[in-house]
Chains A and B, each alone.
Chain A
Amino acid sequence: DQQVKQNSPSLSVQEGRISILNCDYTNSMFDYFLWYKKYPAEGPTFLISISSIKDKNEDGRFTVFLNKSAKHLSLHIVPSQPGDSAVYFCAASVGDNYGQNFVFGPGTRLSVLP
């Protein structure tokens, strides 16, 4: 039973365009969400997070949107660059479990084409 879903295994985008990566969750108790980027043979790198008291968080080219009623979040990358090509994982945790036991989605492989 996957509590965090990333239904697109892969996504290809042209350089300079917007990349939108989606994530859905089923556990309504989740109230802290993160996105990680992972290159081959490396550990995941933290990108951006959002708590459920917000619906948007922006950091440079990266923006995360949270729709609590739909149990959906998305990561927007604008403009996309070839170096953004990686696997992106969405993760979630429960309020009284901050920093513990993150539940990860299966990942979406983003390819940014030059």
Chain B
Amino acid sequence: NAGVMQNPRHLVRRRGQEARLRCSPMKGHSHVYWYRQLPEEGLKFMVYLQKENIIDESGMPKERFSAEFPKEGPSILRIQQVVRGDSAAYFCASSPSSTGLPDTQYFGPGTRLTVL
């Protein structure tokens, strides 16, 4: 039973390029969350998605960042025209369909983005 998978694990981009981070949730999970961890800081919520729907994007920067979770395939976090300040670890988490009870989120290993 595979856990949450993220790829690539490490991504290096030059300023102005695009970064695409992929996340495949655990089997049976239909909720995906993206978090960003800057050096020496905790995880900051970015966006919460269900299949084909963005439920909460209150943590997403207004420009250059977008996320999707298509009907088929992984969730994608896309960062356009990257800047040095985007360098961080980006974690994806998934949880089962909500049953009205608190759902634990299970995290992937993260993608470490370095912008040169």
A: which residues have CB within 8 A of B?
4, 6, 32, 34, 36, 41-46, 49, 51, 89, 91, 93, 98-107
CA A104 to CA B43, docked complex, whole Å: 6
A89 with B95: CB separation less than 8 A: no
Judged by a CB distance under 8 angstroms, whether B69 is at the interface is no
B43 with A93: CB separation less than 8 A: no
Judged by a CB distance under 8 angstroms, whether B28 is at the interface is no
B: which residues have CB within 8 A of A?
4, 6, 31, 33, 35, 40-45, 48, 55-56, 58-59, 91, 93, 95, 98, 100-110
- Please tell me which one of the listed residues B4, B43, B58 contacts residue A89 in the complex, with CB atoms under 8 A apart: B43
8 smallest CB-CB distances across A and B, nearest first, come from A99-B103, A43-B107, A104-B42, A106-B42, A104-B43, A98-B102, A32-B102, A99-B95
- Please tell me which one of the listed residues B4, B41, B45 contacts residue A43 in the complex, with CB atoms under 8 A apart: B4
Number of A-B contacts (CB under 8 A): 69
Instruction: For residue B103, give the distance in angstroms from its CB to the closest CB of chain A.
Output: 3
Given known pairs A98-B98, A99-B31, A99-B95, the reply for A49 and B42 (CB within 8 Å) is no
B102 with A51: CB separation less than 8 A: yes
CA A4 to CA B108, docked complex, whole Å: 22
Name the residue of chain A whose CB is nearest to the CB of B92.
Answer: A43
Name the residue of chain A whose CB is nearest to the CB of B6.
Answer: A43
B42 with A101: CB separation less than 8 A: no
List, in ascending order, chain B residues with CB within 8 A of A104's CB.
35, 42-45
B41 with A101: CB separation less than 8 A: no
Given known pairs A43-B4, A101-B59, the reply for A93 and B42 (CB within 8 Å) is no
B103 with A43: CB separation less than 8 A: no
Instruction: For residue B98, give the distance in angstroms from its CB to the closest CB of chain A.
Output: 6
